[in-house]
Copies of this chain bind each other. A is one copy, B any other.
Amino acid sequence: MNYQSIREACCEANRKLPATGLVDLTFGNVSVLDPDSGVFAIKPSGVDYDALTPDSMVLVDLNGEVVEGELKPSSDTPTHQRLLQAFGDAGVTSVVHTHSRNAVAFAQAGREIPCFGTTHADYFFGAVPITRELTADEIQGEYEWATGEAIVERFADLKPLDFPAVLVKSHGPFAWGKTADKAVEHALALEIIADMALKTLAANPSAEPIPDVLLKKHFLRKHGSSAYYGQG
């Protein structure tokens, strides 16, 4: 069996999803890329998380061709493919899609999540972005690919690791990272931030984003060359 390490990382990350509280039923999937071969492992479609094994992961290349696998890959595969293509140069090797409820609320509301505090600023270098509405042609055509394209379009002027997740309008979040663990952490951080933002709006409907100077302080405390958080 080839691609054993991405099979295992992908299986483990998918199996861990339910315990994070981020997924209900089977609404979530993780992919993991092997950058050298340009092949990624992804969850098979509609299979329960606790039935997953490394062998049941589906292997797909960056052109979308199934390389190995008995089962059909997640129906969201073309979105993962497009993101791994576009964000690979920035070091992204894993994408996580969930329907976590608070992030979905902002996606359904058609609102980016303002940076209301330092928890947010520890992970995102500004508001969590949201994609534009897809056109009827995009929805009726290669819908999942078009979803990926709309994300990449939204990131024309954004660095993927400065904003490690996005809200797809009317749908839900995609998150990513340099490893599967980091991608799942970003999906979880997004959900926490979205929960805090909803509660902030409940406490003060006209709450304002934090000043830029505080945003920079917190984001750069954890990221980049002058980071001083953690043991790194």
Chain A residues within CB distance 8 Å of chain B: 24-25, 27, 44-47, 71-72, 75, 99, 101-102, 104-111, 116-119, 133-134, 136, 139-140, 143, 170-172, 185, 188-189, 192, 195-204, 207-208, 210-211, 213-214, 217, 221, 228-232
Using A101-B195, A110-B208 as known contacts, list a sample of 11 further A-B pairs with CB atoms less than 8 Å apart, ordered by residue number in A. Answer: A24-B189, A25-B189, A75-B228, A75-B229, A99-B119, A102-B199, A108-B117, A116-B170, A117-B171, A134-B214, A143-B217
Q: Which residues of B contact A24 (CB under 8 A)?
A: 188-189, 192
Q: What copy number does this chain have within its complex?
A: 4
Distance in Å from the Cβ of A212 to the closest Cβ of chain B? 9
CA gap between A190 and B195 in the complex, in Å: 18
Q: Which residues of B contact A47 (CB under 8 A)?
A: 231
Q: Which residues of B contact A203 (CB under 8 A)?
A: 105-106, 108-109, 111, 197-198, 201
- Whether A110 touches B213, Cβ cut-off 8 Å, given contacts A72-B231, A101-B196, A202-B201, is no
Within the complex, which residue of B104, B110, B171, B231 is in contact with A44, where a contact is CB–CB below 8 Å?
B231
Distance in Å from the Cβ of A146 to the closest Cβ of chain B? 11
Q: Which residues of B contact A139 (CB under 8 A)?
A: 211, 213-214, 217
CA gap between A152 and B62 in the complex, in Å: 50
Within the complex, which residue of B46, B108, B188 is in contact with A116, where a contact is CB–CB below 8 Å?
B108
CA gap between A200 and B104 in the complex, in Å: 8
Q: Which residues of B contact A189 (CB under 8 A)?
A: 24-25
Residue on B with the closest CB to A143?
B217
* Interface contact B25-A117, CB-CB below 8 Å: no
Residue on B with the closest CB to A206?
B109
Q: Which residues of B contact A231 (CB under 8 A)?
A: 44-47, 71-72
CA gap between A99 and B73 in the complex, in Å: 36
* Interface contact B198-A199, CB-CB below 8 Å: yes
* Interface contact B140-A192, CB-CB below 8 Å: no
* Interface contact B202-A105, CB-CB below 8 Å: yes
Q: Which residues of B contact A108 (CB under 8 A)?
A: 116-117, 196-197, 200, 203, 207
* Interface contact B207-A109, CB-CB below 8 Å: yes
CA gap between A93 and B118 in the complex, in Å: 26
Residue on B with the closest CB to A135?
B213
